[in-house]
Amino acid sequence: MMVVTVNPKNETTTLISIPRDIMTSISGFESSFPQKLNAAYAFKAASDNNVSLGDGVSTTIDTIQKMFNFPINYFAMVNMSGLGDVVEQLGGVQVKSPLTFTFSQETAHESGKDLYQFTEGSSTFKYAADGETFKIYSKMNGQAALAFSRMRYQDPKGDYGRTERQRLLLQQIISKVKKNPAQVVNLKFINSTTKNIASNLKSEDMLKLGTNYISASKHIVSYTVQGQGETFEGIS
């Protein structure tokens, strides 16, 4: 989960990762405390047979708003394929890896087919479809971006490390959009990428963001809400 604040007046976009396991009281289900934040969506879905897609999202948003005391105007729920689609539509991105790791899209671990090798401090990486015969690449396509942002188990920072890589990837996406806004500020791009995105942003809202708020991409600030792990009443 990530909160993005877009401020054209200060020419700044702020990316804040919120750990999905952070302890919280779910809005409307306070008697269930303590719970993890990522349970908010499921709690609403499980409580109402007539629940719609937006209902689970609204419970999550209400919970975050109460936790941090700021308003959230819009949401976008993006599955992993949607992230890959955006990278593909932009023609790929270059991202320096903060650590060295190997990740298989097939097994989600260090070995297997569809294998990627990333190196700390480098934007180049290696890929082997068969898990053995590697080639070197300088730019991530959609699938490489997914591998880079999905890995968790090898990262000494755990989920904090994964959210850091997701923010790094999003920063490079924003930077590439900034260089050529017309590439994405059009209905063709929006329609081709939104099949894997659920949002209360309409197409015209997205176009306005792209045209009127592009100045907010001049400075990109990125951080995560940091906590300390513990088990409380049996919940991690």
Same domain, 137 and 181: yes
Q: Is the pLDDT of residue 81 over 90?
A: no
Return the DSSP state at 69: T
Q: What is the pTM of this model?
A: 0.81
- Taking residue 3's Cβ as centre, other Cβ atoms within 10 Å add up to 16
Please give the share of the chain, as a percent, with pLDDT higher than 70: 98
Distance CA 121, CA 52 (A): 43
- Taking residue 64's Cβ as centre, other Cβ atoms within 10 Å add up to 21
Q: Is the pLDDT of residue 16 over 90?
A: yes
Summarize the confidence of residues 84-100 as an average pLDDT: 92
Task: Identify the CATH number of the domain in which residue 226 sits.
Answer: 3.30.420.590
Joined together, the tokens standing for residue 112 give 């297997």
Same domain, 130 and 180: yes
Reported residue count of the chain is 236
β-strand pairing of 35-36 with 135-137: unpaired
Same domain, 33 and 84: no
Q: Which of 2, 1, 23, 15 is nearest to 231 (CA)?
A: 23
Q: Name residue 38's amino acid.
A: N
Same domain, 55 and 129: no
Distance CA 6, CA 72 (A): 11
- Residue 130: which domain range? 80-195
The DSSP secondary structure of 135-171, one letter per residue, reads EEESSB-HHHHHHHHH--TT-TTTHHHHHHHHHHHHH
Q: Is the pLDDT of residue 51 over 80?
A: no
Same domain, 102 and 181: yes
The DSSP secondary structure of 186-203, one letter per residue, reads SHHHHHHHGGGEEES--H
Distance CA 226, CA 76 (A): 23
Q: Out of 65-74, 83-92, 155-164, 181-190, pick the least confident.
A: 181-190
3-class SS at 18?
Answer: coil
Q: Name residue 225's amino acid.
A: V
Distance CA 167, CA 18 (A): 11
Same domain, 89 and 146: yes
Same domain, 71 and 150: no
Same domain, 94 and 190: yes
Task: Identify the CATH number of the domain in which residue 158 sits.
Answer: 3.40.630.190
- Which carries the bigger pLDDT value, residue 189 or residue 156? 156
Q: How many domains does the chain have?
A: 2
Q: Is the pLDDT of residue 229 over 90?
A: no
Same domain, 37 and 96: no
Same domain, 130 and 178: yes
Same domain, 172 and 209: no
Same domain, 104 and 159: yes
